[in-house]
Amino acid sequence: LKEKHKILHQLLQNSTS
């Protein structure tokens, strides 16, 4: 699922702005 949703996964990993 992570592989298919790289952008969403990246957004979740980014620290909260």
Structure tokens at 11: 């957004």
Site for another protein in 1-17 (CB under 8 A): 1-2, 4-9, 11-12, 16-17
Give the shortest CB-11-to-another protein separation in angstroms.
Answer: 5
Give the shortest CB-2-to-another protein separation in angstroms.
Answer: 6
User: Are 15 and 8 a contacting pair, CB within 8 Å?
Assistant: no
The contact set with another protein (CB under 8 A) reads 1-2, 4-9, 11-12, 16-17
